[in-house]
Structure 1
Amino acid sequence: MRRGFYDRAVTVRGWAWVVLVVLCAALAVVVAVLIPWQRPPAPRADQLAALAELPGERVAKARELRGELRWIRYPAMLVGLGVALLLGLTPLGAWLVGLVPGPWIAKVLGGGLLVLAVADLVTLPFAAWRHTVLVRYGLSTQGWGGWAVDLLKGYAVGAVLAAIALLGFFGLTRLLPNWWWAVGAAGAAVLVVLLSFVFPVLVEPVFNKFTPMADGPLRTELMELAARDGVPVRDVLVADASRRTTALNAYVSGIGPTRRIVVYDTLLREAAPAETVGVVAHELGHAKRGDVVIGTVIGALGAAALVVGLYLLGGWGWLLRRAGVDSIAEPKAIGLLLAVATVAGLLAGPAQAFVSRLIEARADQHALELTGDAAGFEDMQQRLSLVNLSDPDPPAWEQSLFGSHPTTVERMAAARAYARTHG
Structure 2
Amino acid sequence: MSGAGRAGARAALLVAVVLGAAFVVLVAVRTPWTLLPEPPGGRTPVRPGAGLPPGVAERAASFAAALRPASLASLLLGLAVSAVLALTPLGRRLVTAVARPLGGRWTWQVLLGTVALLVAGRLVTLPLAAYGEVVRHRYGLSTRSWALWARDVAVSTAIDAAITAVVLLVLVWLARRAPRTWWAWAAAAAAGFVVVGSFLYPVVIEPAFNRFTPLAAGQLRSDLLALAQENGTPVQDVLVADASRRTTALNAYVSGFGSTRRIVLYDTTLEQLPDAEIESIVAHELGHVATDDVLTGTLMGALGAGAAVALLGWLLTWTPLLRRTGADGPGDPRVVPLVLLLASLGTLVATPVQNLVSRHVEARADLHALDLTRDAAAFTAMQDRLAATNLADPDPPAAWQWFFGSHPTGPQRVALARDWQRLQEAG
**Of residues 392, 410, 414 in structure 2, which corresponds to 1:408?**
410
Q: CA deviation at 1:45?
A: 4.8
Q: CA deviation at 1:251?
A: 0.4
Aligned partners of 1:41 and 1:414 also within 8 Å: no
Q: Distance in 2 between matches of 1:41 and 1:59?
A: 29
Aligned partners of 1:46 and 1:416 also within 8 Å: no
Aligned partners of 2:316 and 2:322 also within 8 Å: yes
1:164-313 equivalences in 2 (<5 Å): 164-313=166-315
**Of residues 66, 79, 82 in structure 2, which corresponds to 1:68?**
66
Q: CA deviation at 1:295?
A: 0.7
Aligned to 2:154: 152
Structure 2 gaps, min length 5:
none
Label 1:139 to 1:41 Cα distance change in 2 as closer, same or farther (>3 A). farther
Q: Distance in 2 between matches of 1:29 and 1:293?
A: 16
Aligned to 1:30: 26
Q: Distance in 2 between matches of 1:368 and 1:242?
A: 28
User: Which one-letter code corresponds to 1:159 in the other structure?
Assistant: A
**Of residues 420, 423, 426 in structure 2, which corresponds to 1:421?**
423
User: Which one-letter code corresponds to 1:74 in the other structure?
Assistant: L
Label 1:130 to 1:31 Cα distance change in 2 as closer, same or farther (>3 A). same
Q: CA deviation at 1:6?
A: 2.6
Q: Distance in 1 between matches of 2:345 and 2:9?
A: 23
Structure 1 gaps, min length 5:
none
Label 1:71 to 1:10 Cα distance change in 2 as closer, same or farther (>3 A). closer
Aligned to 1:47: 46
What do the CA deviations read for 1:72-119 (whole angstroms, capped 9, x no partner)?
Answer: 111111101111111112222111112122211111111111111111
**Of residues 9, 13, 24 in structure 2, which corresponds to 1:13?**
9
Q: CA deviation at 1:41?
A: 6.6
Q: Distance in 1 between matches of 2:164 and 2:135?
A: 30
User: Which one-letter code corresponds to 2:339 in the other structure?
Assistant: L
What do the CA deviations read for 1:265-316 (whole angstroms, capped 9, x no partner)?
Answer: 0001010100000000000000000100111111111111111111110111
Q: Distance in 1 between matches of 2:2 and 2:325?
A: 24
Q: Distance in 2 between matches of 1:289 and 1:167?
A: 36
Aligned partners of 1:93 and 1:333 also within 8 Å: no
Aligned partners of 1:40 and 1:361 also within 8 Å: no
Aligned partners of 1:382 and 1:408 also within 8 Å: yes
**Of residues 389, 392, 395 in structure 2, which corresponds to 1:390?**
392
- The SS at the match of 2:205 is helix
Q: CA deviation at 1:11?
A: 2.4
Q: Distance in 1 between matches of 2:291 and 2:223?
A: 21
Q: Distance in 1 between matches of 2:29 and 2:43?
A: 28
Aligned partners of 2:287 and 2:368 also within 8 Å: yes
TM-score w.r.t. length of structure 1: 0.96
Q: CA deviation at 1:214?
A: 0.8
Q: Distance in 2 between matches of 1:344 and 1:14?
A: 20
- The SS at the match of 1:208 is coil
Aligned partners of 1:255 and 1:292 also within 8 Å: no
Aligned to 1:338: 340
User: Which one-letter code corresponds to 1:397 in the other structure?
Assistant: A
- The SS at the match of 1:332 is helix
Compute the RMSD of aligned alpha carbons: 1.4
Q: Distance in 2 between matches of 1:256 and 1:90?
A: 48
Q: CA deviation at 1:322?
A: 2.1
- The SS at the match of 1:214 is coil
- The SS at the match of 1:53 is coil
What do the CA deviations read for 1:47-84 (whole angstroms, capped 9, x no partner)?
Answer: 22x63332231111111110000121111111011111
Q: Percent identity?
A: 49
Q: CA deviation at 1:19?
A: 1.3
TM-score w.r.t. length of structure 2: 0.95
- The SS at the match of 2:50 is helix
Aligned to 1:326: 328
Q: CA deviation at 1:10?
A: 2.5
Q: Distance in 1 between matches of 2:21 and 2:399?
A: 29
User: Which one-letter code corresponds to 1:15 in the other structure?
Assistant: A
Q: Distance in 1 between matches of 2:283 and 2:391?
A: 22
What do the CA deviations read for 1:335-371 (whole angstroms, capped 9, x no partner)?
Answer: 1011101111111111111010010000001000000
Aligned partners of 1:211 and 1:239 also within 8 Å: yes
User: Which one-letter code corresponds to 1:308 in the other structure?
Assistant: A
Q: Distance in 1 between matches of 2:179 and 2:328?
A: 14
Aligned partners of 1:89 and 1:339 also within 8 Å: no
Q: How many residue pairs are counted as aligned between the two chains? A: 418
Q: Distance in 2 between matches of 1:145 and 1:301?
A: 39
Aligned partners of 1:327 and 1:333 also within 8 Å: yes
Q: Distance in 2 between matches of 1:95 and 1:159?
A: 19
- The SS at the match of 1:52 is coil
Query: Which stretch shifts more, 323-332 or 22-31?
Result: 323-332
- The SS at the match of 2:45 is helix
Q: Distance in 2 between matches of 1:41 and 1:165?
A: 46
Q: Distance in 1 between matches of 2:51 and 2:278?
A: 22
